[in-house]
Chains A and B, each alone.
Chain A
């Protein structure tokens, strides 16, 4: 490297100085920060980063290539990411994408001649309640008018928090009511009461017992019993343990965690601190997806305020308990919502899911015992410790106690997050969201990895046991309504496109199967279907479901298989 290059790389020095001690774990943060200065990463930049963090260059290349928000080719300094996931697509996402490209005279992924702008197609941005939506630089915009991109690109008007509705709202009650940066407002509405109660009057084992008695199970989709997870982590051998909050909310149709992070950020911090106390951790990470820059800013501010006021850091609430929280940004990879892939990402690697066992409770982040929970789960845990297990169990059903945030989107009149007790009938939820816009054809439950309910399911209780009996998933709480005017085959194509884009490529069933599933659906939608397409989809779906390495592959064919079961004629040749 000559001197002029070295001089030009001077902007890296403060970034590297800040992260060098952390070694490889600082890789993704450093790459993101370096890129924010230049638009994209060049070989000399990456070589300097590799030297400072002591990471082999080929492996950094692999990392940059893995995350879609990292660029090793010229990229625009401002990126317009237009959501084309199923929900935005049916609201005009692809039209908005074309219009944005026309506006700049570019193709998707092509940089304008002045190097300033680039339009990209994005998988679900988690703005489904504002469909069709886009991210202009770091500004989330919604309800965009596809034909007039000049307005929403040149003068992007940030969306509000979004609609939060439902019945008594224990978990989301403060969202939209308090200023998210206002600690006093949070505490005036009961905030940090759970942490105070835990530190002042409960042992860690009693906290865990309270969570177990409440019957809290994970809200990210897998529904693992939270108390059991904490207990296993607390009991695992080792001195260092971690709490990780999974805020990589990327399941198409899911946006509840965004509402909690942006509307009530102290709540999740409280949940993390309580988890830290319960399992014996003094450090937590919150991994927020890269497509949520505003949530990242709000949570960062909340952490700062909490530390300044003794709610995080040393001697929390004047007690002998210390807990720090570090934000990590995702960089464009749905797979990093898988818990072990998320650990890999924090460790500065490609987000490949790990083999299980061993499980995170014994071998998690940096190989240490780790409890990893979803945002909503941690909020629910904080609520339980504040008000007690009995109060939590007073709503919901015996097997699915508590209340749950559901994400209503698609063809409903008032899309938003609705918090209701578990067991509330599907039809009531739809009615709460203003009813279906048009005649209901289907409801996608559980997200892209979910399955379809029909108009015959309106009485279905939205509880774990109720949905299990109907062989439907609750997942992360996605309720996406699809009216009769929609072509279901196009919805399936959009889902298949999502999985092909997001497969990490580690195991063969998913790496190959997501592509083959997409190809079959492409030809079916374009009227080129073949006689054996149904059989192929079933074989591919079966293989992904049963032989894949992680949850992404295991569910990548679920929606298609569910559609085949429900509407066998849908994908028949010639329809």
Chain B
């Protein structure tokens, strides 16, 4: 499963949980399908595996999954060959670094909707993010693509917490990965906007 998450409304988006139910047309998404008494369900029939593998291949040929270990292991499990789709269009928008709390690298976004959901009615009621475009060209976006500090974002960080692919990442984590010193990380994420670099405060480079 890719989109399913215990704390957000299930929307049946990724269809990785499809199963085959005797007598039903097509395949059914297990996350949102009620179980019936006496139902005969196959979870790994050839049709189920074919659909799941094709979805994974198409996704991997579209999105940077380098920081999505769960999806990578699914690709392996299903013997997916994304190279079949080589040469196709990928979603590769530039990374957005517009606030001191988190970065948005939508080249890694699988459109699971979790961030939009926690930002809205599933948790925070901040409504800072929604969608741009539609179909293959869909993306997560703010009002008129404004930088995050100009939106209703309250920087609660819940979207970062629920992102399964590293598309949303804490700025600190991102900077540390880039080899930025802890002092500079502190400056970038806590003090930026205060006007000048603090000389007091905790010494992160000496353990706080």
Q: Which residues of A are in contact with B by a Cβ distance under 8 Å?
A: 43, 46, 56-62, 65-66, 72, 333, 350, 355, 357, 500-516, 519, 532, 536, 539-540, 542-543, 545-549, 554
B:43-89 near A, CB below 8 Å = 47, 50-51, 54-55, 58-59, 61-62, 84-85, 87-89
Q: Which of A58, A504, A519, A549 contacts B88 (CB 8 A)?
A: A519
In contact, A58 and B134 (Cβ under 8 angstroms)? no
**In this assembly, does B26 line the interface, its C-beta being within 8 Å of a C-beta of chain A?**
yes
Q: Which of A56, A72, A333, A355 contacts B144 (CB 8 A)?
A: A72
In contact, A516 and B130 (Cβ under 8 angstroms)? no
Least CB distance, A68 to chain B, in whole angstroms:
9
In contact, B54 and A58 (Cβ under 8 angstroms)? no
In contact, B51 and A547 (Cβ under 8 angstroms)? yes
With A59-B130, A61-B141, A511-B138 given, is the CB distance from A542 to B12 under 8 Å? no
**In this assembly, does B152 line the interface, its C-beta being within 8 Å of a C-beta of chain A?**
yes
19 CB-based A-B contacts, threshold 8 Å: A43-B143, A46-B144, A58-B128, A62-B130, A65-B132, A72-B144, A506-B11, A507-B15, A508-B2, A508-B13, A508-B14, A508-B15, A509-B54, A512-B59, A515-B88, A539-B54, A542-B51, A546-B27, A547-B51
Q: Which of B2, B62, B88 has the most CB of A within 10 A?
A: B88
A61-B132, A503-B135, A514-B136 known; 10 new pairs, CB 8 Å cut-off, are A56-B127, A65-B132, A66-B134, A333-B134, A503-B134, A507-B12, A513-B58, A514-B135, A547-B18, A548-B15
**In this assembly, does B5 line the interface, its C-beta being within 8 Å of a C-beta of chain A?**
no
Interface flags for B13-42 (1: CB within 8 Å of A; 0: not) read 111101000000011010010100000000
CB neighbours of A57 from chain B (8 A): 127, 143, 151-152
In angstroms, Cα B110 to Cα A507, docked, is: 11
In contact, A549 and B133 (Cβ under 8 angstroms)? no
Q: Which of A46, A355, A503, A513 contacts B12 (CB 8 A)?
A: A355
CB neighbours of A539 from chain B (8 A): 50, 54
In contact, A65 and B134 (Cβ under 8 angstroms)? yes
Q: Which of A46, A62, A502, A536 contacts B84 (CB 8 A)?
A: A536
Q: Which of B11, B50, B62, B128 contacts A543 (CB 8 A)?
A: B50
**Closest B residue, CB atoms, query A506:** B13
CB neighbours of B47 from chain A (8 A): 542, 546
In angstroms, Cα B59 to Cα A540, docked, is: 12
**In this assembly, does B142 line the interface, its C-beta being within 8 Å of a C-beta of chain A?**
yes
In angstroms, Cα B131 to Cα A504, docked, is: 11
In contact, B127 and A511 (Cβ under 8 angstroms)? no
In angstroms, Cα B129 to Cα A60, docked, is: 11
Q: Which of A58, A502, A512, A548 contacts B58 (CB 8 A)?
A: A512
In contact, B131 and A66 (Cβ under 8 angstroms)? yes
- Name B's interface SS: loop
In contact, B132 and A62 (Cβ under 8 angstroms)? yes
In angstroms, Cα B141 to Cα A513, docked, is: 23
CB neighbours of A549 from chain B (8 A): 12-13, 15, 29
With A508-B15, A515-B135, A542-B51 given, is the CB distance from A536 to B142 under 8 Å? no
In contact, B151 and A58 (Cβ under 8 angstroms)? yes
In contact, B84 and A532 (Cβ under 8 angstroms)? yes
Q: Which of A59, A516, A547 has the most CB of B within 10 A?
A: A547
**In this assembly, does B111 line the interface, its C-beta being within 8 Å of a C-beta of chain A?**
yes
Q: Which of B59, B133, B137, B151 contacts A508 (CB 8 A)?
A: B59
In angstroms, Cα B29 to Cα A357, docked, is: 12
In angstroms, Cα B2 to Cα A56, docked, is: 27
Least CB distance, A249 to chain B, in whole angstroms:
20
In angstroms, Cα B13 to Cα A46, docked, is: 29
In angstroms, Cα B135 to Cα A504, docked, is: 5
CB neighbours of A519 from chain B (8 A): 85, 87-89
In contact, A511 and B132 (Cβ under 8 angstroms)? no
Q: Which of A60, A510, A512, A547 contacts B62 (CB 8 A)?
A: A512
In angstroms, Cα B62 to Cα A514, docked, is: 13
CB neighbours of A46 from chain B (8 A): 143-144
Q: What 10 A-B pairs have minimum CB-CB distances, sorted nearest first?
A: A56-B127, A62-B130, A505-B138, A503-B135, A512-B58, A515-B136, A58-B130, A57-B143, A543-B54, A546-B26
CB neighbours of A43 from chain B (8 A): 143-144
Q: Which of B59, B127, B133 contacts A65 (CB 8 A)?
A: B133
In contact, B134 and A56 (Cβ under 8 angstroms)? no
**Closest A residue, CB atoms, query B56:** A508
In angstroms, Cα B11 to Cα A504, docked, is: 14
In angstroms, Cα B130 to Cα A61, docked, is: 7
**Closest B residue, CB atoms, query A541:** B54
CB neighbours of B15 from chain A (8 A): 507-509, 547-549
**Closest B residue, CB atoms, query A499:** B135
In angstroms, Cα B61 to Cα A542, docked, is: 18
In contact, B89 and A58 (Cβ under 8 angstroms)? no
Q: Which of A505, A515, A536 contacts B111 (CB 8 A)?
A: A505
In contact, B26 and A545 (Cβ under 8 angstroms)? yes
In angstroms, Cα B25 to Cα A554, docked, is: 11
Q: Which of A60, A333, A506, A516 contacts B85 (CB 8 A)?
A: A516
